[in-house]
Amino acid sequence: MTEIVVLSGKGGTGKTTVLASFAALAENSVLCDCDVDAPNLHLLLEPQAEEVHEFYGLQVAHIDSEACNECGLCVDACRFDAIHDFRVDPLACEGCGLCARVCPLGAISMHDVLAGHWYVSRTRYGPLVHARLRAAQENSGKLVMAVRKRARELAQQTDAVFILSDGPPGIGCPVISSLSGASMALIVTEPSLSGIHDLERVLGLCRHFGVRPLVCINKYDLSEKNTRRIEDHCGDAGVEVVGRIPFDPDVNSAIVQGRPVVEMSDGAASREIRALWEAMATCSVP
Amino acid sequence: MILSVASGKGGTGKTLVATSLALSLQGQGAVQLLDCDVEEPNAHILLRPEIESSQPVLVPVPRVDKERCTYCGRCSEVCAYNAIAVASTVVLVFPELCHGCGACSYVCPEGAITEEGREVGVVQAGRAGRVRFVHGQLAIGEAMAGPLIRAVKGLADPAAIVILDAPPGTSCPVVETIRGSDFCLLVTEPTPFGLSDLTIAVEVSREINAPCGVVINRDGAGNDDVERYCAQEGIPVLMRIPFDRRIAEAYCRGETLAAAMPSWQQRFRELFDRVKGLAAVGSVS
């Protein structure tokens, strides 16, 4: 089984477009959306939910105002500046519980918070494990781990050849949870100076966690000069550039129609994504 | 006045809008741009600031004195983040999981735990023209953006127009950024992806009680669902930036909209005037 995670560093470079097309092209795969903050993969795959699970993140402190004598020990102890006027700001509280420990009156208790849900859904391309963190919640990394764990179980049960994961932007906690232990990472970048900067950081992250990176340049024709820079940089770093996708309005039309672009169009972008998938499938032969 | 530029979805043009707005407002008093996307900061690529100072950001992590430790395991029991584990004669600290809350040192009955600062990134400050600039860079492999975002925001000047360039997403790093803002400018694109993430971003701005307005980027590239949603929810659409390959190409070269097409500067100033008005109404209601 090969677990491929699509990352980018910078957001909006085309991760979901590429991954949804892979889902349509791959046979016998389990699909996984590791972007639990702002998930989009489900918008292209028409999932039918079969399992719904609750997700509890970190606890949040609560001060019982009847029992509190406003001594202020909790305020002094809190490192997250989460207690104001002897009330806890749930958005600032990181659930460490120190306030409850220092309170001499036992007026502070810790509570579980429903932070989101995760789902196993049926799609015409195979099972999809996905999630939705509630707005403004913490601990998306832990939710990503729950989603990946279930995807791996399903892949084992069904003898799937691939787990195809759509990753979140950035390089922090949810990205680390999506990347660590994956077979390889496909980094979708774009030929902007920002794209190049972010690519370098995400390549650093792959090195840090020992995951093999491959690179794909989306909308490469927006700047052929920057595309060459990316190719040169990857060449120097020993990273393979496995695809170059041109700017193609069909990509946006497919998103608007809620379908993977390779199913909607035989245009330039679709042809390149098909070739990219062939290259990926070859790279991933053990 | 603190104005956050956020989006939910990545790559919708937050940084393009935040930097163009900052450049367009130069000369209207002090303007500060704080890039709070510490995982992938990009505003410096467009603004090319001269960096004048650089400070490491430290998070306190436990250090265990083996002479004093009796391996009782209290520290490990109280840690909400599984950042410290105790076996028979070993204490293991996992610094990248540690939030630096101090609970372990508080509960240690032997006083065996002290804290030491661990660097998780740097905060840099400087200037781009008359715009004062601050950004943070999370060290590669570090999970938690929060302490770095707090350090960036710690350099905000209450007397200035402060523009915060937020990270994508809708969870803790975004909340850390936009908390305390007078207004959230949400940049989206007219596609189902843009709409889905916009609806979550609107929920987040409501959670923090900040009024919000929308900028539609790549206008004309999708459908009308974002416009319909905004009308239904009573959220003003404050600017539309057309789907134009020339804008995308200028961005690829690292140029802001305000610099590549100077006629946009006036529109950004008008945008800011409307935001000021809406923020004033929002703070009253």
Chain A: nearest CA to B233, how far in angstroms?
17
Q: What is the pLDDT at residue B281?
A: 85
* CATH fold of the domain at A2-56+116-283: Rossmann fold (3.40.50)
Q: What is the pLDDT at residue B112?
A: 97
Report the CATH number that the domain containing residue B111 is assigned in CATH.
3.30.70.20
List of residues 6+ apart from A271 with CB closer than 8 A = none
Residue B100 has pLDDT above 70, yes or no: yes
Chain B CB contacts of A201 under 8 Å are 39-40, 140
- Are B72 and B173 within one domain? no
Residue B263 has pLDDT above 80, yes or no: yes
- Are B176 and B198 within one domain? yes
Residue B285 has pLDDT above 60, yes or no: no
- The last residue of one of the domains, among B118, B144, B161, is B118
- Are B260 and B187 within one domain? yes
- Are B74 and B25 within one domain? no
* Structure-token pair, residue B232: 């239904």
Q: What is the pLDDT at residue A284?
A: 73
Q: How far apart are CA B229 and CA B218, in angstroms?
A: 17
Q: Return the minimum-mean-pLDDT range out of A98-112, A156-170, A272-286, B22-36.
A: A272-286
The tens digit of pLDDT for each residue in A200-215 reads 999 999 999 999 999 9
- Are B84 and B137 within one domain? no
Under the banding of pLDDT at 50, 70 and 90, the label for residue A143 is: very high
Under the banding of pLDDT at 50, 70 and 90, the label for residue A139 is: confident
Residue A134 DSSP one-character state: P
Chain B: nearest CA to A260, how far in angstroms?
13
Chain B CB contacts of A19 under 8 Å are none
Domain range for B79:
59-118
DSSP chain B: -EEEEE-SSTTSSHHHHHHHHHHHTTTSS-EEEEE---SS--HHHHH-PEEEEEEEEEEEEEEE-TTT-----HHHHH-TT--EEE-SS-EEE-GGG-----HHHHH-TT--EEEEEEEEEEEEEEEETTEEEEEEEEPTT----HHHHHHHHTT--TTSEEEEEPPSSSSHHHHHHHTT-SEEEEEE-SSHHHHHHHHHHHHHHHHTT--EEEEEEEETSS-SHHHHHHHHHT--EEEEEE--HHHHHHHHTT--HHHHSTTHHHHHHHHHHHHHHHHHHHHH-
Q: What is the pLDDT at residue B51?
A: 98
- Are B93 and B141 within one domain? no
- Which among B39, B57, B196 is the top mutation candidate for probing chain A, defined by the most A β-carbons within 10 Å of its own β-carbon? B39
Nearest to A230 by CA among A272, A196, A206, A270: A196
Class of domain A60-111 (CATH, top level): alpha beta
Global confidence as pTM: 0.95
The tens digit of pLDDT for each residue in A227-283 reads 999 999 999 999 999 999 999 999 999 999 999 999 999 999 999 999 999 999 888
Q: With left for phi above 0 and alpha for psi between -120 and 50, is residue B218 left, alpha or beta? A: left
* Structure-token pair, residue B269: 């100033």
- Are B154 and B79 within one domain? no
Of residues B173, B174, B223, nearest to A256 (C-beta): B223
Of residues B81, B200, B222, nearest to A256 (C-beta): B222
Interface check B35 vs A, CB under 8 A = no
Residue of chain A whose Cα is closest to the Cα of B220: A252
Q: How far apart are CA B197 and CA B191, in angstroms?
A: 10
Q: How far apart are CA B275 and CA B158, in angstroms?
A: 17
Residue A63: strand, helix, or coil: strand
Tell me if B156 sits within 8 A of B32, measured CB to CB.
yes
Residue B73 has pLDDT above 60, yes or no: yes
Q: What is the pLDDT at residue A281?
A: 87
A136 to B175: CB separation less than 8 angstroms, yes or no = yes
Q: What percent of chain B clears pLDDT 70, i.e. is strictly above it?
A: 99
Total domains, chain B:
2
Q: What is the pLDDT at residue B27?
A: 86
Residue B77 has pLDDT above 80, yes or no: yes
Residue B283 has pLDDT above 70, yes or no: no
Residue B214 has pLDDT above 70, yes or no: yes
From residue B228, alpha-carbon distances to B185, B190, B200, B223 in Å are 18, 10, 16, 10
Q: What percent of chain A clears pLDDT 70, i.e. is strictly above it?
A: 99
- Are B273 and B231 within one domain? yes
B143 to A102: CB separation less than 8 angstroms, yes or no = no
Provide ipTM, 2 decimals: 0.94
Q: What's the whole-number mean pLDDT along residues B92-104? A: 95
- Are B162 and B67 within one domain? no
| Burial tier of A33 (Cβ tally within 10 Å: 0-12, 13-18, 19+) | buried
The tens digit of pLDDT for each residue in A101-115 reads 999 999 999 999 999
Under the banding of pLDDT at 50, 70 and 90, the label for residue B93 is: very high
Of residues B40, B193, B208, nearest to A170 (C-beta): B40
The tens digit of pLDDT for each residue in A35-78 reads 999 999 999 999 999 999 999 999 999 999 999 999 999 999 99
Q: What is the pLDDT at residue A178?
A: 97
* Structure-token pair, residue A256: 């608007």
**Domain extents for chain A?**
2-56+116-283, 60-111
Q: How far apart are CA A210 and CA B74, in angstroms?
A: 34
- Are B31 and B166 within one domain? yes
